[in-house]
Amino acid sequence: MKRYTIIPLLAAVLFAGCSRERNLERPEKILARVGGKSITVNEFIRRAEYTPRPPYCSSESYPHKKIVLNSLIAEKLFALEAGEKNPLITSPRVEAFLKGRKEQAMREYLFIKEAYAKAQIDTAVLKQTVVNASRRYRVAYFNVPDSATAVEVEEGLRKRREPMLAAMNSFAPLDSLPEREVVWDKTESDGVIDSLFSVRRQAGDLIGPIKNAQGHSLFMQVLEVKPEVVVTNEQLREIWKSVKERLTDKEARANWDQYILSVMKGRRIEFNRSTFFKLADLLGPLYLKSRDEQEASFEQRYWEGTGEDVNWDDYLSQLKAMAGEPLFKVDGEIWDVARVAEEIRSHPLVFREKKIRNRDFGRQLQLAIIDMVRDRYLTERAYKRGYDRLGAVEREVGMWRDHYNYLFYRDGYLRAMGDSVATDPHYLQTIEHHLNAWVDSLQQKYSDRIEINLTEFEQIKLTRIHMTVAQENVPYPKVVPAFPQVTTSFRLDYGKKME
C-alpha cells in the first residue's frame, strides 16, 4: 500500500448514540406465548407506542388494545407458518441485517454496563439543576453555519463587546433577532439545557457558541428570566426525575467516550489514497441522497420482485472490479474493498453530518468508515463477554426475524389470493376481505399453543399519541418494526389463560 492518509483512531471518537432504553437489563414479563415464540409486555408497549398504529386501533380504548394484541399474535402466527427456511429469511441480505441488529443490541448492552451503570450524579449539581429547571428564559438567538464564522462572531461579542445584533449583522444583516422561550424539556438539546439550567442565568447574559451535530453554532442572549413558578409536589417529583435522567445520560455519555478511548488507544487507520478516492467517487451519488431517499430506494429494492438478495453489483457495478484493492490498514491488518463492502452489509455507514455538501463527502466518508471500524472493535468486546447470548439481545433479533417472516408469508398469501401488498388507503379492504378470516383460522389452528397473560394485559395503558421513535448515530435507527396491519378483530376467543 502506498500514499496513505493517516488518522489516529482516538481523534475520531464520537458518542455512538446508544439506546436510552434500560429494558436490556430488566427481567421481562411474558404477555403471550405463541408456539415457541413469546411477546413480552415491553415488546407490546414498544410495538404499540414507538411506531404509528393504523386508525382502526390508534386510540387508548380497550377494544383497540385488544386489536393490538391480536395483531402482534397474528404476526407470530404468520412467522410460524413461514418457517425459518423460506427464501427471504435465508437470503444473505436479511442474514446480514439480522446480524447487524444483533451486534447493535450487543453494543447497547455494552454501553449500559460500561457507561450507564457507572454514571454517578453529583447531588449538589442535581439539587441546583432541579431548582433552575423550573425557570423560564426568553432568549434572542442566531445560528452560525461554520466554525470560522463562529470564531469571528464570538470575537465581536467578547472582545469588542458589540451588541449581539451588531455582531451578527456582519454576516447576515437582520432588522432584529428571532426570539423564543426556553423551558426545561426533554426535546431541547443538551447544549441549550446545560448552558441555561446548570447555572443561574441573568438577563443580558451572552451564551455561545453551542455546537450541534451538524456543526452549526448557536449564540443566545438572555432577554428575560421569568421567576420560578409555584409547583405541586407531583410536579416537583416529575422535574426531579427528568433532571436526574438527563444528568445520568450526560454522565453516561462521558463514561462511554472514556471507554471507547480505552478500547481504541494506540490504534490508527491508514487509508490508501488512490483506492479511497475511487471509492468516494463511486459511492458519492448514492450517499449524497437524503436519508429519506436512501431508505425509500432500499425498501423498493428490498421488497419488489422475488425477494432475493440484492447486492452491491445491482447498483454499483464497478465495485466488484475493485473488490481486491486495499482500502485501509488498521493494527497492521489490511482491509480491502470487498471486506469493507461486506462489513457495510451488516453495519450501514453512519455519517456524522446529516446533510453533506459534495465537497465534504470524502472527509465524511472517511469518518463514517472510521466509526464503523470503531464499532467493530466494540462488538468484538461484546462477543468476548457473551452478549450475543443474552436473552434481551436474542429477543431483539427474534422480533425483527419474526416481522420479516410475517411479511414474507403475508405477501405470498395475498399474491396467491390475487390481491396486492399495499399500504395505500385501500389496504383496510384487503384486511377485511382476506386477512381477517385467515388470521381467525390460524388462531384456531394454533389455539392450544397460544397462552395469554390476561392479568398483565389488563394493566397495560396505551396512549393515543402518534409517534415514531428512532435512535441517532446508529446503523439501524428504527427502534421497532412497522406495526403489523393484519387484523381488525378485537375478539380474544382463542388460546388459553397463562397460569
CA 431 to chain centre: 30
Structural contact between residues 151 and 242, judged by C-beta atoms closer than 8 angstroms: no
Residue 292's CB: how many other CB atoms inside 10 A?
Answer: 8
3 secondary structure, DSSP code: S
Structural contact between residues 192 and 207, judged by C-beta atoms closer than 8 angstroms: no
pLDDT score at 306: 34
Q: Give the separation between CA 32 and CA 34, rounded to whole angstroms.
A: 7
Beta strands in 97-216 (DSSP E): 136-144, 179-182, 206-211
Successive 10-residue mean pLDDT values, the chain, 499 residues: 41 38 66 96 94 92 97 98 95 94 97 95 87 87 77 75 72 78 80 85 87 75 81 82 90 94 94 94 78 48 37 60 93 94 92 82 94 97 97 95 96 82 67 93 96 96 82 91 95 91
Contacting residues for 1 by C-beta, under 8 A, at least 6 apart:
270, 272, 326, 329, 334
State pTM to two decimals: 0.83
pLDDT score at 495: 93
Q: Which three cell numbers stand for residue 349?
A: 455507514
DSSP string, 235-259: HHHHHHHHHHHHHHHHHHHHHHHHH
Burial class (CB in 10 A: 0-12, 13-18, 19+), 425: exposed
Structural contact between residues 106 and 379, judged by C-beta atoms closer than 8 angstroms: yes
pLDDT digits (tens, 9 = 90+) for 120-129: 998 988 888 8
Contacting residues for 130 by C-beta, under 8 A, at least 6 apart:
236, 239, 240, 243
pLDDT score at 284: 85
Domain spanning 135-227: CATH 3.30.70.120: no
The domain locations on the chain are: 35-89+388-497, 135-227
Between the two ends of the chain, the Cα-to-Cα distance in Å is: 65
Report the amino acid identity of residue 395.
R
Q: Which three cell numbers stand for residue 160?
A: 469588542
158 secondary structure, DSSP code: H
Structural contact between residues 380 and 267, judged by C-beta atoms closer than 8 angstroms: no
CA atoms within 13 A on the CB side of 143: 8
Residue 268 DSSP SS3: strand
Strand 30-34 to strand 4-8: parallel, antiparallel, or no bridges (unpaired)? unpaired
pLDDT score at 214: 61
